[in-house]
Structure formats: structure tokens, C-alpha cells
Amino acid sequence: MSRAPASPGTAPAAARPAVTIDDVRRAAAAIEGVAVRTPLIEMPALAALVGHSVALKCEQLQPIGAFKVRGAYNAIQRIPAAVRSRGVITYSSGNHGQAVAWAAAKVGVRAVIVMPNTAPQIKVDGVKKLGGEVVFVGPRSVDRKLKAEEICAAEGLAMIPPFDHPDVIAGQGTCGLEILEQWPHADTILVPVGGGGLLAGICVAVAGTHPETRVVAVEPEGAAKLTAAMRAGAPEQLASTASLADGLLTLSVGSMTFPLIKPVIHEVVTVTDDDITLAMRFLHREAGLKVEPSGAATTAALLSGKVRPRGATVVVVSGGNVDEELFDRLMSAE
């Protein structure tokens, strides 16, 4: 079908972004009283190091120990009741799977979680304890996605993708709204990035309320998919990823998340596994926090000097679901 040309002297209307600040505000209303409004904990030890006030946004205090409950619950509650009643499905290496199982239990529907056979046991156990049905596949993310799509089609379930979905992104963006309500003077927000759902949501919140605030993305050196995307101008698939930060190992940022991220972020930095380990030890020693490697990536960026703040800085601690054996081994190696 041909499209009529625009009237002389007029520009074509700009496409509506996949997620707007109004979507994030609606999500905030939807999750109120369900997800936790997590605290900002000031860190004098970090402030002394960087010369500016620093606070941790403690998403490890969410019901399943990670920020993912925000997007999962928002997405599930927006599915029409007749569809939702058949159950939901997702594919996840861990925290999103737990969040979907938790949110599904909240609304009383079945949840199927397709997980890699390499998933940390603490995250597999978490899904099962929350009533989720676990289906294992090989370690590749494409295997999880294909298996979930197969089951979804066969059983008529509703799909809740881990990051590339407008309701998931809007839900994660509520973390950004909270930060800017709690610390409106924040100059910089450090955000970890896997597929980009949390980062994209926070970018929407910042652009819609405090556009002067700088957003810095942090990713593992061994999974630098956003770095690759920024260089190419579009999401690029990495051949492989490797890092302690199992929650940040996607091969690519999302096709929906990237356009929300690109115009807002100030920079992308990468951290090594050694940087992350030192940050986990620091958070445990200085704040008594048990944080998973993915959740410590942002603190690692500050401690390693990869980010040099110019004012009040908020560090998003995205999760705390770390395998006990791994945590004890990393702490005892000091």
C-alpha cells in the first residue's frame, strides 16, 4: 500500500517511543504496595574515595532479591485476565525467572521458566520455591528463547520476555523514578546492563523528569554488548560472553531497549571480574551487604576509577542472589 505524501511544509510525525514517562508512571502506580520502594543508603567510604556523596539503590531488598520484580509484575498485571489465566512463560538465567514466578503466584496463575542447565543453583531453587515450573535447556540464550516460544505456542501461555518488552521496561523504569524522587539532586546514576531493560527504563525516567542527570552504563568486560552497539549504532550480537556477573551475560542488548538507551546515556564503561570481586568484598565489609556479581558491577566501576563522578552519585545495586559457595570463595580469597 502506498502512503500519501506529507502536506507541503509539514514534517512527518515522529514515531512514538516504545516506552514513555507516562508508561513508567502508570507502572509505578501498578506496583505500589507490591514491589518494595527500596532505600538509598549513603556510603561515606565511597564518598571519601570519589569526592562526592554516593548512595546505593538497594534493589537486592526486593522480594526475590533483585529489581526484576518491577517489570515482571507490571507486565503480568497488564495481560488481559482471560489470557493470563492460561499461565505465563519466560526464558531466563535466573532473576527474571524468579520474578515471573513470584509475580505469577501473586496473581494466582501458572508460570513456566525455561532456564539454562548452567544457571546458579540458588536461582533455580528460587524459581521452584516460588512455584515456577523449570524447563532446562543448553547454555545458549537462543536455546532458552526457542524452547520458551515452542512451549508458549503449544500451551497457549503468555510470554514475558526478560527485557525487550514495553511493560517490562516501564516496570524497571520505576527504579529510576524512585531514585529521582529520593535524591532529586543526583548528578549521576550508575546502572548495570545486560539486555538493557533496567537501563532503558531508567533512561526513560531520567529523560522525562531530570534530563540534566547523567546516566552511566556498566557492563562486564567479557560481555560488552552495549559497547559494541554504541560503536555500531545498533545492537550487535557477540560471539560469546564470559563473566562472574551471570545476570549480565546476554549476547546483545535489545532492539527495543537500545533506541531508548542511546540518546540518553553519557557513557558506557566495562569492569573486569577482578573489579567485581573487589566491589563485592567492599560492599560486604563496609555495608554488610551480600551482593551478587551483577549487582556489584556498578560499585566496581567507582572503586576501579572507571567512572569519575562530578557530583552526587547513585549506584544501582541490582541484586543479591549469589551462590553461597561462590560468595564464600570470593570473600575468603581476600
Q: Examine the pLDDT at 84 and tell me if it is beyond 90.
A: yes
Mean pLDDT, to the nearest integer, of 257-266? 98
pLDDT in tens, 133-179: 999 999 888 899 999 999 999 999 999 999 999 999 999 999 999 99
Structure confidence at residue 139 (pLDDT): 86
- Same domain for 214 and 269, yes or no, is yes
- Return d(Cα 112, Cα 104) in angstroms, integer: 10
CATH number at residue 230: 3.40.50.1100
- Please calculate the CA angle 86-90-91 and round it to the nearest 5 degrees: 155
3-class DSSP state of 159: strand
- Same domain for 101 and 131, yes or no, is yes
- Same domain for 138 and 263, yes or no, is no
- Return d(Cα 38, Cα 174) in angstroms, integer: 11
User: Is 196 within the bounds of a domain?
Assistant: yes
User: Is 3 within the bounds of a domain?
Assistant: no
Count of structural domains, the chain? 2
User: Is 223 within the bounds of a domain?
Assistant: yes
User: Is 1 within the bounds of a domain?
Assistant: no
pLDDT in tens, 294-323: 999 999 999 999 999 999 999 999 999 998
pLDDT in tens, 92-126: 988 999 999 999 999 999 999 999 998 889 899 99
Range of the domain at 221: 21-67+166-332
pLDDT in tens, 192-247: 999 999 999 999 999 999 999 999 999 999 999 999 999 999 999 999 999 999 99
Q: Examine the pLDDT at 266 and tell me if it is beyond 90.
A: yes
Structure confidence at residue 14 (pLDDT): 59
- Same domain for 92 and 170, yes or no, is no
Specify the pairing of strand 188-192 against strand 267-271: unpaired
Q: What is the mean pLDDT of the chain?
A: 93
> What residues contact residue 261 under an 8 Å CB cut-off, 6+ apart?
193, 196, 199, 200, 203, 217, 226, 253
The separation between CA 93 and the C-alpha centre of its own chain, rounded to angstroms, equals 13
What confidence tier does 333 reach under pLDDT thresholds 50, 70, 90? Answer: low
The amino acid at residue 236 is: E
pLDDT in tens, 3-33: 333 344 444 455 788 999 999 999 999 999 9
- Same domain for 256 and 240, yes or no, is yes
